[in-house]
């Protein structure tokens, strides 16, 4: 099979894809934004984008590269598909690697494995169990849970905690991202950059449904206040119901809650957006300007993590222990927890 892959890799393809010997790449997008936390493997000067591609193909850890013709700069990245720039991108090209060859073996993008990169991990936890480990960084990975008909990209934390999956990532250092979206968008997921992204209710349920009998999911809510001081709260037995039940929230019980508890009051609430608001005359989703598990009460919620971060509408907040102050950063992720 290896010789077939190598032979196929030499075949000349259309302009949006190209194959360097022993590697295969596809043209991806350049996104204009102010925040990029992706790990850069190397920065070098090369003769052209094909030489940059050769360097990425021969580096087992490289998943994509950015080449800019104006300065012949080649940047290799550990993860992701698209490239993020803040400024003029004229003459710049971004390519993601389908597979590479180091001279001794095929190398696969994060999430794929097998002799020909033909298999996908079911979630971040399964990848971690099989030795995928990246210290100190969130990393983009493609997964395909059993309940999903298609693979999709998620942000994973792949170090000491057993492989966590990010549900929601917000930070005020990023360019503004509109979180006042339709129910269809909240179902599918959105966010132009990983540091300002919602995973999607459909994908979230697919990951939760992959849970095996030996573990459940613990929800980790990591918050940074106006002084950028962090705190965390943990919840066990996290569940989101199906579409017929309006994606209602369930939490079995609280764990450690240094940030306080501004979530269990929302248990049983359906997920609401401005075009699918289940809070009656209170119109919480329309008033707050984001999707959330609002209650059908005048105050609507004790927490809100899909609001604005610039004061233009209702900013993100967490009432308990943080007194509802505007949050500078919020990360919500699933952590595997042994039964």
Instruction: Please choose, from the candidates 190, 141, 139, 134, the residue with its C-alpha nearest in 3D space to the C-alpha of residue 37.
Output: 139
Judged on CB neighbours under 10 Å (0-12, 13-18, 19+), 237 is middle
Section 219-246 average pLDDT: 93
- SS3 at position 143: strand
- Spell out the domains of the chain, with CATH numbers in brackets: 2-107 (3.50.4.10), 121-338 (3.90.215.10)
Reported confidence tier of residue 11, pLDDT bands at 50, 70, 90? very low
Q: Is the pLDDT of residue 8 over 60?
A: no
Give the pTM: 0.86
Give the side-chain half-sphere CA count within 13 A for 312. Answer: 12
Q: What is the pLDDT of residues 124-175, one digit of tens each?
A: 989 988 988 877 678 899 999 998 999 999 999 887 678 899 999 999 988 7
Cross-strand bridge partners of residue 170: 330
What is the C-alpha separation between 7 and 244, in angstroms, rounded? 49
Instruction: Output the CA–CA distances (angstroms, integers) from residue 132 to 124, 125, 126, 158, 225, in the order listed.
Output: 9, 9, 9, 7, 32
Instruction: Output the CA–CA distances (angstroms, integers) from residue 44 to 35, 86, 87, 162, 163, in the order listed.
Output: 22, 19, 20, 34, 32
Backbone CA torsion sign across 335, 153, 120, 131: negative
DSSP secondary structure code for residue 299 in this structure: S
What is the C-alpha separation between 95 and 332, in angstroms, rounded? 30
Section 72-77 average pLDDT: 95
Q: What is the pLDDT of residues 15-56, one digit of tens each?
A: 344 444 567 889 999 999 888 878 899 999 999 888 999 899
Q: Is the pLDDT of residue 253 over 80?
A: no
Joined tokens for residue 144: 């395909």
């Amino acid at each position: 099979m290896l010789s077939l892959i190598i032979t196929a890799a030499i075949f000349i393809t259309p302009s949006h894809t190209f194959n360097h010997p022993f590697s295969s790449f596809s043209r991806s997008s350049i996104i204009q934004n102010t925040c990029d936390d992706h790990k850069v493997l190397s920065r070098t000067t090369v003769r052209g984008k094909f030489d940059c591609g050769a360097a990425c193909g021969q580096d087992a850890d490289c998943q994509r590269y950015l080449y800019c013709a104006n300065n012949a700069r080649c940047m290799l990245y550990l993860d992701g598909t698209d490239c993020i720039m803040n400024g003029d991108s004229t003459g710049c090209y971004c390519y993601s690697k389908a597979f590479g060859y180091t001279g001794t073996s095929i190398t696969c993008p994060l999430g794929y494995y097998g002799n020909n990169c033909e298999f996908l991990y079911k979630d971040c936890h399964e990848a971690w169990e099989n030795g995928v480990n990246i210290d100190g960084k969130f990393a983009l990975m493609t997964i395909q849970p059993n309940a999903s008909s298609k693979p999709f990209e998620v942000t994973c934390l792949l170090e000491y905690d057993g492989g966590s999956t990010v549900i929601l990532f917000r930070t005020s250092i990023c360019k503004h991202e509109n979180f006042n979206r339709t129910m269809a968008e909240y179902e599918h997921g959105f966010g132009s950059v990983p540091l300002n992204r919602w995973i999607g209710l459909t994908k979230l349920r697919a990951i939760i449904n992959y849970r095996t009998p030996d573990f459940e999911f613990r929800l980790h809510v990591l918050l940074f206040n106006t002084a950028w001081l962090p705190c965390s709260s943990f919840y066990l037995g996290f569940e989101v119901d199906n579409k017929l039940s309006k994606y209602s929230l369930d939490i079995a019980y609280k764990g450690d809650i240094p940030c306080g508890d501004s979530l269990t009051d929302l248990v049983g609430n359906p997920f609401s957006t401005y075009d699918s608001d289940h809070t009656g005359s209170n119109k919480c989703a329309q008033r707050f300007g984001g999707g959330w598990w609002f209650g059908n009460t005048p105050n609507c919620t004790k927490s809100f993590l899909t609001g604005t971060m610039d004061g233009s509408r209702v900013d993100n907040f967490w009432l308990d222990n943080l007194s509802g102050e505007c949050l500078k950063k919020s990360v919500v992720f699933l952590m595997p927890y042994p039964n």
